[in-house]
């Protein structure tokens, strides 16, 4: 544990109260996190692909419908929890909870912590359905970074600094899993998910708001995060922004260009037909 963190803990949490809250050290957190990520990556990059190599894709329509519905409901619940906290204590929290008060904060971190681990099932479903094109670097990086963040948050440095971050991210997940749920119901429901590309725009706005909030929360709080943890969060979210922006342009600008090309080709064909006539 770095000295800066020890100094913060000494000033913010009196010794008699730190005994109430059990925390993991950074090394313990890193070991636990490493085991979870190693199991996840080994499963989705090696074990399951080898298992599915000579098999037909699984039809998981019923499971996916239930899974996405559960994700929407659980994300709405987290939005409610964190919106209630913000109403009580403000968007920039400066209260430095300790003792039993901190235990209450930790209790409300758990739903988000669990949610980020449940999100890993997305990749497993992709592999079982042989949707290998969906298992991209962006997908894997996003999931592993979010799980890493929640482990550091809950196990190493529990705090209420991330309430706004959790609210924004959970709100986006309400929209995202609603989209996945509708899309998984079959081709006849595709007309109801016309707003897919706008979902990426919402995600990009989310990242800007999150980085802005992290900056001012760290600057204004009397109990700042350890520097490495703060910059890990800021750099991770910043990298998400640029990767999602790249994905947006590759996905939608390319389609727009192809559409324009098809339109021009169509006009040329018409002109040729007119000249022949």
Residues 153-194: pLDDT tens digits? Answer: 999 999 999 999 999 999 999 999 999 888 888 777 778 888
User: For the whole model, what pTM was predicted?
Assistant: 0.82
* Residue 175 CB partners (closer than 8 Å, separation 6+): 199, 202
**Comparing C-alpha atoms, which of 122, 119, 137, 138 is closest to residue 48?**
122
Helices (H), 90-184: 99-118, 121-128, 137-151, 163-183
Residue 167 tokens, joined:
């609210």
Predicted pLDDT of residue 30? 95
Marked catalytic residue, from 142, 157, 161, 173: 142
Q: Is 142 a catalytic residue?
A: yes
pLDDT single digits (tens) 107-136:
999 999 999 999 999 999 999 999 999 999
Are 83 and 163 spatial neighbours (Cβ–Cβ below 8 Å)? no
Predicted pLDDT of residue 89? 94
Predicted pLDDT of residue 183? 84
**Domain with 56 in it:** 3-276
End-to-end CA distance of the chain: 83
Total structural domains in the chain? 1
Can you tell me which residue has the tokens 């703060």?
230
Averaged confidence pLDDT in the chain: 86
* Residue 201 CB partners (closer than 8 Å, separation 6+): 248
Higher pLDDT, 269 or 64: 64
**pLDDT > 90? residue 208:** yes
**pLDDT > 60? residue 43:** yes
pLDDT above 90 covers a percentage of the chain that reads 70
């Amino acid at each position: 544990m770095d000295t800066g963190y020890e100094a913060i803990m000494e000033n913010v949490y009196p010794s008699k109260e730190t005994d109430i809250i059990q925390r993991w050290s950074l090394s313990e957190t890193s070991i636990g996190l490493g085991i979870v990520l190693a199991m996840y990556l080994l499963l989705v990059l090696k074990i399951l692909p080898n298992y599915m190599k000579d098999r037909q894709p699984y039809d998981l329509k019923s499971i996916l419908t239930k899974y996405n519905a559960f994700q929407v409901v659980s994300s709405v619940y987290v939005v409610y929890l964190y919106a209630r906290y913000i109403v009580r204590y403000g968007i920039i929290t400066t209260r430095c909870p300790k003792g039993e008060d901190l235990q209450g904060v930790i209790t409300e971190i758990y739903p988000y912590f669990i949610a980020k681990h449940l999100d890993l099932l997305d990749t497993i479903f992709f592999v079982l359905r042989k949707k290998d094109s969906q298992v991209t670097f962006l997908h894997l990086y996003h999931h592993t970074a979010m799980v890493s963040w929640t482990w550091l948050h809950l196990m190493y440095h529990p705090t209420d600094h991330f309430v706004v971050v959790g609210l924004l991210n959970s709100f986006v997940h309400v929209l995202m899993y609603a989209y996945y749920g509708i899309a998984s119901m079959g081709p006849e429901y595709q007309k109801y998910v016309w707003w897919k590309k706008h979902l990426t725009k919402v995600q990009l706005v989310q990242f800007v708001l999150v980085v802005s909030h992290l900056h001012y929360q760290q600057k204004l709080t009397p109990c700042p995060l350890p520097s490495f943890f703060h910059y890990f969060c800021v750099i991770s979210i910043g990298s998400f922004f640029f990767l999602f922006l790249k994905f947006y342009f590759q996905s939608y600008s390319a389609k727009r260009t192809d559409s324009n090309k098809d339109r021009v080709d169509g006009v040329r064909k018409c002109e040729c037909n007119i000249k022949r006539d």
